[in-house]
Structure 1
Amino acid sequence: MLTHLSIQQFAVVSGAELAFGPGMTVVSGETGAGKSLLVDALSLLSGQRADSSVVRHGAARAELHGEFDLHDAPAAAEWLSAQELDNPDAPGTCLLRRVIHADGGSRAWINGRPATLAQLSSLAALLVEIHGQHDQQALLSRPSQLALVDAFGRTGPELAEVGQAARRWSALLDERQALLERGDVSERIEWLQHQYDELEAEDLAADSIARLLADHTRQAHAGDLAAACQAALAELTDRDGAALSDGIHQVRSMLHKVSDHEPRLGEVASMLDAAAIQLDEAAGLLERIGSDLELDPERLRELEERLSRVHELARKHRVSPDALHEQQASLAAELEALRGADERLRVLDQEIESARTVWREAAEVLGRKRRKAASELSRAASALIGELGMEGGRFEVQVEEQEGDRPDPQGTERVEFLVAANPGQPARPLRKVASGGELSRVSLAIEVAAQGLDSVPTMVFDEVDSGIGGAVADIVGRRLRALAGNRQVLCVTHLAQVAAQGHGHYRVSKAARDGITRSQVQQLDDAQRAEELARMVGGAELTEEALAAAKRLLADVDA
């Protein structure tokens, strides 16, 4: 709900502060006084583009401030929280500010933080709905029309079910597309399987590769190794064939006999014992190695062939030989995934068809409820159009079926509001209705018929009573007041019958000073309000008859 509006240096208004409460607030004034400037100010706070012509002559800039209470605007509060633009100093409120410079620049703020016009427009659409100007009429938007039909028909649960089914169907389609973008899965599987089979034919475990390299090296140098072993064994024996360890044992025995006289010789004897043992073990190992080193050309050829295959695979896969095992594991994993993808594609086709069926069934339920709501809204709004001075006119909600290749969370219906202002005329889209007054009254009829079911808490009607008078004007006023029972209503009017229905009243007047026209906005008390209604009834001259008529209008409202 709008609670405060500040206007500074805007058009012919040098400064105005307006406070608003719940219910219906009317704005009146002489023709040309600038009473619609309040609507213009709200339009600019709602993100409408502006130029320097709105800045009062001689001023550097125009400033507009709007303060809103968000207790009746949960959608706006949620938007602010999501955008991190909520007001920490005053939770539950929202401050909009717009500055238009005389040089053509413009800036906007939401709760003191700089904001783009797109952000301002998105937020204001959840706060204010302006009726009467084509470019500010929310009901001219087809998405808004569909939302109003859904609100009127209370299709929330059905719409949620369609949205959930659409998201499920869409997710499956996206998954299938991602799998298809991999290319021909069967060809990829065949190629990978060939690569895997080549690796599988070899033992590529790390320890196996290490043994292969060691066996090849040993077999390739078997002759040299055997000769070295024989030479070493020869060195470990004397000319008579006795082992060096025998001589070491003789030295140890000689030292042992005199070790009683020198204890340190016992340590030497122990060392010689160990050396003799090591020499015997070394000689034994040399003999075993020598016997194992059998020069086998056929074995060498086999090892070289296998080693060649391993190096060829390593070059082919661009990895080192010891990394071939990991490459094989990687190929196996991809093969498994692709085989799973191939199977997944077959399953996906079934799941997609099932999801499409679920969505269509949910959409059909939603569509039936929407068509019923459209018919009821058409009848109710058509009856109200006649009451509001468009006798014989009719309102229609045209429901169009459309279904694309992709799931739509909004269902298969799109609606268009049509209106025929006079009998015998074909109904045309509401957005093409030429008369601003007629458009405002049609909008009022729709809103009253829907009982303000859309979530926007503040509705502004500009010259909704244009071209009517008498009993029709009284009906328009009463309908606006009824609408104000569950929405805040601001109405710019020139008819006393409408103005009398307001819970609050502002008058806009103009005066020339020093050759410059200025407008002034004044909130009226009961006595001033009666005088203003009398002016609206009888013209510029305030007569007793006009004042009496104004008081009767006010009394009828109170009654």
Structure 2
Amino acid sequence: MLTRLSIRNIVLIEALDLDFGRGLGVLTGETGAGKSILLDALGLVLGDRAETALVRAGEAKASVAASFEFAEIPQAIADALDDADIEIEPGEPLIIRRQVKADGGSKAFINDQPTSVALLRELASALVELHGQHDDRGLVNPRGHRALLDRYAGTDNAGLERHWHRWAKAEAQLAEARADVEQAKADQDLLIAHLAELTALEPQAGEEARLAGTRADMQKAEKLSGELEELRHIWEGSDSPLASLRVAARRLDRIAEQHPLLADALAALDRAVIEAGEAEDKLEVAAEALVHDPAALDAAETRLFELRALARKHRCEVDDLPEKMREMRAKLDAIEGGEAQLDALEAAAKEARESYVAFAEKVQNARINAAKKLDKAVAAELKPLKLDAARFLTSIGSLPEDKWGAHGMDSVEFLIATNPGADFAPLAKIASGGELSRFILALKVALAEKGGAATIIFDEIDRGVGGAVASAIGERLARLAADEGQLLAVTHSPQVAARGNTHYLIAKSSSGTVTKTSVVLLDEAGRQEEIARMLSGAEITSEARAQADRLLEGV
């Protein structure tokens, strides 16, 4: 609920700090005293447009701060703050502050953290419900009528939402499967062609590396074979170095015994012949090992190039081609088995739809029964509020299937007819300002609504009425305040003012060219004097004071 409102430099208000409590708080004062300024100031922290005209003349900026406290923070507020990354501890007040500059622009803060005006507007409906002469929110807005009726009927909205999401999920799975099958069918010819191409080549994992290595080895062998062929001409034949060494060794053998050095030379020459022979043998073995088939090289190169070309075609690595084949086979298999899968998904979606419809029809019946009770309850409240010629109707319509949702299959709107024989129409289009406020009061009393805004404000709900009707309004406001916790009423009626748990007097004073608006919390004596003024006008008589006492004692 709203616990404190601090205003600085707003129009005629220089500085004002107001504390509020539970129950019914009434605000009174002479016409033009500045009651609308308070509502405009509160509107700033609720996200209303920041008009520079609100800044007090001669000041650079204006500010408003409102403090709200909750036994348990409403879920809607907690979710909005969480989405905005604003933390609030249990038991901690929610303080909204708004600054407006005289030269344009404004700033908003929540618990001293900068925030957007959009967030203030999002929080507003959960913080304050304002019913005034030109209000288009709260109970007037048809978007909230279905939720109000459901709370009155006690419908199982959580169960309805579960059935809706189950059906929506089944439909989504069916749509996805259909799309996959249709896409697969559209690609079927291309898939078959691609798969045939891959199957003909039958790529293997790691094959690119093996082929590349084989190709490199054969290219190297081709180069070395040429070198060995040139060496062969040196080592082979009667005039080769090895043949010459052998001839020299035979000749030296005949004379080696003639001198020790010749024997040593022969030994060295024999070793050379042996080493050269071994070299010749190894060259022969190497030549045999490096023999390659040019056709095999061509085949390896051709396959390698084909694999790489296919990889480029399918935008993948060569080693990924086997997986591509498996994917293509799976897609083709999906076409064949898709119909059976679709049949199962269609059956599941149909069953989920039937389950949702059955549950939604139960909710619909509960709404219809509750609407009849609500219409009677509102009708009982209309006559005491001088609306005895008016009629109230909770209209329940069937939505087309494409508009069904977690809320069910129904549209709900509160309608009124203010004159006998007149057609029913939306609240805001038929009722005048005073009638609209009284209709809303009757509806809220009938609903005994729970879970609405933390603070309810009625602005001049008693306009144009008096006597017994004003008393009826005051009685109902007091009753509603007891149920809801906090209700503020701007009033000109002494009968309504007498019902307040707290009473604030709004007054305007002038000193030279400076005019100021002030608000004071009245004590018992002050309440008597203000209600007496409301009864008698400018001159307060003893009879007015006595009547004020009777009003205060009567509550």
Q: TM-score range by the shorter chain?
A: 0.7 to 0.9
Q: Secondary structure at the match of 1:201?
A: helix
Comparing 435-444 and 163-172, the one that deviates more = 163-172
- Deviation, structure 1 residue 62: 2.9
Deviations 1:413-459 (A, max 9, x none): 12111112333332220121341111111111111111132331110
Asked if 1 retains the 8 angstrom alpha-carbon contact of 2:69 and 2:91, the reply is no
1:471 aligned counterpart, secondary structure: helix
Q: Partner of 2:27 in structure 1?
A: 27
Alignment check: 8 A CA contact 1:147 1:454 kept: no
Which letter does structure 1 place at the counterpart of 2:42?
A: L
Computed over aligned residues only, the root mean square deviation of the Cα atoms, in angstroms, reads: 4.0
Q: Which residue identity lines up with residue 26 of structure 1 in the other structure?
A: V
- SS of the residue corresponding to residue 459 of structure 1 reads strand
**Structure 1 CA distance for aligned equivalents of residues 498 and 277 of structure 2:** 126
Shift of residue 17 of structure 1?
A: 1.7
Unaligned 5+ residue runs, structure 2? 250-267
Q: Which residue of structure 1 lines up, in the alignment, with residue 380 of structure 2?
A: 383
Please show how residues 29-178 of structure 1 align to structure 2 within 5 Å: 29-71=29-71, 73-75=73-75, 76-87=77-88, 91-155=91-155, 158-174=156-172
Question: Which stretch shows the higher mean deviation, 384-393 or 175-184?
Answer: 175-184
Contact 1:215 1:303 in 2 (8 A): no
Give the Cα–Cα distance (whole angstroms) in 2 for the partners of residues 153 and 446 of structure 1.
14
Aligned twin of 1:358: 355
Distance 1:198 1:222 in 2: 37
Aligned mates of 2:316, 2:382 — CA distance in 1: 86
Deviation at 1:471, TM superposition (A): 1.6
Shift of 1:363: 2.1
Cα gap change, 1:405/1:144 in structure 2, threshold over 3 Å: closer, same or farther?
closer
Q: How many Å separate the matches in 2 of 1:287 and 1:124?
A: 94
SS in 1 for 2:33: coil
How high is the sequence identity, in percent, across the aligned residues? 33
Matched, 1:448 2:445: yes
Q: Is the Cα contact below 8 Å between 1:363 and 1:411 reproduced in 2? A: yes
Alignment partners' CA distance in 2, 1:204 and 1:232:
46
**In structure 1, C-alpha distance between the alignment counterparts of 2:525 and 2:299, rounded to whole Å:** 114
Deviation at 1:27, TM superposition (A): 0.6
Q: Conserved in 1, the CA contact under 8 Å of 2:474 and 2:496?
A: yes
1:397 Cα deviation after fit: 1.2
Pick which of 330-339 and 99-108 moved more. 330-339
Q: How does 1:226-237 map to 2 (within 5 A)?
A: none
In structure 2, the CA distance between the partners of 1:283 and 1:492, relative to structure 1 (3 Å rule), is same
Contact 2:11–2:56 (CA<8 Å) still a contact in 1?
Answer: yes
Shift of 1:321: 13
d(CA) in 1 for partners of 2:4 and 2:126?
A: 17
Match of 1:209 in 2: 211
Cα distance in 1 between the residues matched to 2:95 and 2:277: 98
Quick check: 2:148–2:449 contact (8 Å CA) kept in 1? no
Q: How far off its partner does 1:176 sit?
A: 5.3
* AA of the residue aligned to 1:332: R
Do the aligned partners of 1:8 and 1:63 also contact (CA within 8 Å) in 2? yes
Q: 1:449 to 1:358 in 2, by over 3 A?
A: same
The gaps in structure 1 that reach 5 residues or longer are 248-267
- Which sits farther off after the overlay, 196-205 or 318-327? 318-327
Amino acid aligned to 2:199: E
1:128 shift after superposition: 0.5
Is the deviation greater in 326-335 or in 177-186? Answer: 177-186
Question: Deviation per CA, 1:139-178, whole angstroms, max 9, x where unpaired?
Answer: 12222222211221222xx322232333344345455556
Deviation of the 1:480 alpha carbon: 0.8
**More deviation in 541-550 or 440-449?**
541-550
Q: How many pairs were matched up?
A: 527
| Counterpart AA for 1:77 | A
Give the Å deviation of 1:229: 10
Q: Are the structure 2 counterparts of residues 138 and 428 from structure 1 closer, same or farther at C-alpha, using a change threshold of 3 Å?
A: same
Distance 1:226 1:479, change over 3 A: same
Look up the match of 2:255. Answer: none
Match of 2:2 in 1: 2
- Answer yes or no: is the 8 Å Cα contact 2:131–2:458 preserved in 1: yes
Counterpart residue type for residue 147 of structure 1: A
- The residue type paired with residue 82 of structure 2 is S
Q: What amino acid sits opposite 1:149 in the alignment?
A: L
Q: Which amino acid aligns with 2:537?
A: G
- 2:191 corresponds to 1:192: yes
Instruction: Give the letter for the 2:457 counterpart.
Output: V
Amino acid across the alignment from 1:541 = E
Q: Which moved more, 1:340-349 or 1:506-515?
A: 340-349
Counterpart residue number, 1:481: 478
Decide whether the 8 Å contact of 1:47 with 1:121 is kept in 2: yes
Closer/same/farther in 2, CA of residues 496 and 358 from structure 1, 3 Å limit: same
Aligned to 1:461: 458
What letter matches 1:435 in structure 2? S
What TM-score, normalized by structure 1, do the two folds share? 0.81
How many Å separate the matches in 2 of 1:215 and 1:202? 23
State the one-letter code of the partner of 1:209: L
Higher mean C-alpha deviation, range 72-81 or range 332-341: 332-341
How do 1:320-331 residues align onto structure 2 when only pairs under 5 Å count? 323-331=317-325
* 2:366 aligns with one of 364, 369, 376: 369
> What secondary structure does 2:520 align onto?
strand
